[in-house]
Structure 1
Amino acid sequence: MFKALCQSLCLFLPLSAGAQAASVVFLNPGHANENFWVGYTRFMQAAADDLGMQLRVEYSERRADLVLSQARAILSGPQRPDYLVLVNELYVAPEIIRLSRDSGVQLFLVNNGLTDNQLESVRAQPDKYPPVLGTLTSNDEQAGYQMLREMVAKLPPSDEPIDLLAFAGVKTTPASQRREQGMRRALADHPQVRLRQVVYGGWNRERAFEQAQLLLERYPQAQLVWSANDEMAFGAMQAFEAAGRKPGVDVLFGAVNSSPEALRARIDGRLSVLMGGHVTVGGWAMVMLHDHAQGIAINRDGSDEYSLPVLQSIDQAKARRWLALQEADDYGLDFHRFSAEGRPADYRYPFLTSPVDY
């Protein structure tokens, strides 16, 4: 607690002679008590501590108006960070990019990049929108696809139709869109699976619980529940359990996220399929920003947009291992070993090409 407080208070104090610690502000789109985004921040902080960087995090509570006011204050204030890391949640990124013009702060997007339409508009108006340093997203479409395929594979063979319910996140969140697209792609491989309805649970447990109660009345034979995050899966699970259904036995749940609760549910079988690992994306962004601050080009291969293969299927053994690692502040990782510092010019960040089993 004291360490975190000190980092927050000392973020923009003058550095001693010769110190070159890069300062970063992360506009976290989630709630300050939201499992995924709290874990996400912890991984970023572990990277910052290991790399000698200064990190401050501001939570926007999933409010577009709040994140824009936070960005405005940061980008126009007297003590600006070197880098601002943001997420294109609720499509806020173009306006923040516009606000950054002439601020001297370089922007880096994580998890949700610009949509195709936004990217076209931004690139067409370079006088209005300065260039973004880079974008790191996760393999959301593949995760949505793989999750449904693994769920179907766990069912006993049958010629009978299989009813599926799906809980997507937010319509204006690219990651949610891509996961849903992957789920729909998997449906083409399994014609016996009938998608009864997709609802948008807003990543929220209580909302998904209420939605699942109604869906159960309409589709009482549902055997599969696909969810774009763990909170919605647990909300839906609560409704099914109240109706006398047993998760992992007569209804299978799949979810995305590697929170401690999700890992435990995968271990005990209440979650039949779990995709996780994207909690690390912000930490990998910190590695790249550390290198950039040292004068190392992070787009040496000519690209500034990357989809990382971080989302992977978590079996029970991996869930146990990850649960133990999350109890360590540093996640058991030496972030320096991923840096391009001191590497050949053709060095490629390992997390760009394969998942890191932290």
Structure 2
Amino acid sequence: MFKFLYISLALFVAFFANAVRAESVLFLNPGYTDETFWVSYSQFMQAAARDLGIDLQILYSQRQPELTLAQARLALLGPNRPDYLMFVNEQYVAPQILRLAQNSGVKLFMVNAALTPDQQALVGKRSDRIGSLVPNDEEGGYLMMKELIRLHPPVSKGEQIEVLAFSGLKITPSAQLREKGMQRALAEHPRVRLRQLVYSGWTEQRAYEQAKQLFARYPQVSLVWSANDEMAFGAMRAYAESGKVAGKDALFSAVNTSRTALQAVVDGRLSALVGGHFTLGGWALVELHDYEQGVDLEQYGGRDRQLPLLQLINKTQARQLLAMGDSPGYNVNFRKLSAKGRPISYRYPFTLQTLMR
């Protein structure tokens, strides 16, 4: 009897100790609660948190920076503070969050968009800022444009190839970087002419409304570059209403690995797709969990890193991702990715290929 009580007590203490050790993370998701990319982003994070034993809470700000700041203020100054606050420098809110976090005891980690060089100079070094993970947005914009140009049929000497571009929010770092990559690709191909770039706020409906006017204004457009999948589908809807066929009369590109985007690649309606950055939050949780266990992130690639997550996805890869898509965590064993106890030469395998093994 006493032996049973001793074992039961030991199990209870072990369970309680594990519960106490579980770090709490609050992620301020800048997207809408029905926005495909940010929902899949959260789902991947939740799968990572379950595997790692992290107490994760996610709040959406519906793309309202003032709501993000209100959520941050409550988290950082209120009575129930998380161990870690994870957030995006969406619409450049990071410096204000850093000011709120001063002396709060909460550790900070940025994903997707970190401090700009000017912001970094203004903020300086902070012991509470654990690090950041961002994708290769500039390269993603470049790869899309290059692929569209590569796939375009040959044109007669002296003839130009006309392009329309749909970007997100003008004050969003990821939109600016993807545009920069697009412009770099265009500079390498002087016969490819950008007729107009518009800002569609990442939404399908806004892109659709703009595209209806733009396709009428520029009937010779044969390449359409979009900074996310929803805007691409808005443009494609308008293009179909004009009596033309996406993938045949004009080539379209997009960013994100939503099921609709992957299926559009398989069907041939999307000619160039880059994606993989929806995994960033999950990868960041692996690093935070390691940090909590005493791992020095500087020894395993650095605290602030850009990951080459945005890569071109072909039809074979699209089919593979579609087949795996019913599992929000893509059957990834996040614990096995830990750097704890690894040699200094180890580097976190945070790539799209990790999902497809």
Fold-level similarity (TM above 0.5): yes
Q: Which aligned segments of 4 or more residues in structure 1 are displaced greater than 3 angstroms?
A: 354-358
Q: What whole-Å deviation, never above 9, does each CA across 1:248-268 have from its counterpart, x for those lacking one? A: 000110000001111111111
1:146 is aligned, of 140, 143, 147, to: 143
Alignment partners' CA distance in 2, 1:143 and 1:357: 19
Partner of residue 26, structure 2: 25
Matching of residue 100 in structure 1 with residue 98 in structure 2? no
| Change in 2 beyond 3 A, CA 1:18/1:234 | closer
- Counting only pairs closer than 5 Å after superposition, residues 102-141 of structure 1 correspond to structure 2 as 102-123=103-124, 131-141=128-138
**2:16 counterpart letter in structure 1:** S
Structure in which a larger fraction of residues adopt helix: 2
Aligned pairs for 1:235-314 (under 5 A) are 235-300=234-299, 303-314=302-313
* Corresponding residue of 2:194: 195
Residue number in structure 2 paired with 1:16: 16
Q: Secondary structure at the match of 1:350?
A: coil
Q: Which moved more, 1:317-326 or 1:86-95?
A: 317-326
The residue identity in structure 2 corresponding to 1:75 is L
Quote the residue 1:5 is aligned against. none
Kindly indicate whether the alpha-carbon contact (under 8 Å) linking 1:310 and 1:355 is maintained by their aligned counterparts in 2.
Answer: no
Query: Which residue does the alignment assign to 2:63?
Result: 62
Partner residue of 1:157 out of 149, 154, 174: 154
1:256-305 superposed Cα distances (whole Å, 9 cap, x missing partner): 00011111111111111100100011111000001011111212258321
Deviation at 1:347, TM superposition (A): 2.4
Q: Name the count of aligned residue pairs.
A: 339
RMSD, aligned α-carbons: 1.5
What is the TM-score normalised by the length of structure 2? 0.92
Contact conserved, 2:330 with 2:355, CA < 8 A, in 1?
no
- Percent identical residues: 53
Aligned-partner Cα distance in 1 for 2:330–2:214: 39
Equivalent-residue separation in structure 2 for 1:57 and 1:288 (angstroms): 18
Report the secondary structure of 2:320's partner residue: helix
Q: What's the secondary structure of 1:31's corresponding residue?
A: coil
Amino acid at match of 2:315: Q
**Which amino acid is 1:17 matched to?**
A
Deviation at 1:357, TM superposition (A): 4.2
Partner of 1:48: 49
CA distance in 2, matches of 1:349, 1:336: 12
Residues 165 and 198, structure 1, Cα contact 8 Å, conserved in 2: yes
C-alpha distance in 1 between matches for 2:68 and 2:180 = 27
| Corresponding letter in the other structure for 2:17 | A
Counterpart residue type for residue 356 of structure 1: T
DSSP 3-state at the match of 1:133: strand
Q: How far apart are the structure 2 equivalents of 1:311 and 1:356?
A: 14
- Structure 1 window deviating more from structure 2 (214-223 vs 35-44): it is 214-223
SS in 2 for 1:299: helix
Whole-Å separation in 1 of the counterparts to 2:120 and 2:214:
37
Quick one: which amino acid aligns to residue 308 of structure 1? Answer: L
SS at match of 1:17: helix
SS in 1 for 2:273: strand
Which residue pairs with 1:334 in the alignment?
Answer: 333
CA distance in 2, matches of 1:130, 1:287: 20
Cα deviations by residue, 1:19-53 (Å, 9 ceiling, x for unpaired): 31111110000000000000000111111111111
* Structure 2 counterpart SS, 1:300: helix
Shift of 1:113: 0.8
Alignment partners' CA distance in 2, 1:53 and 1:280? 17
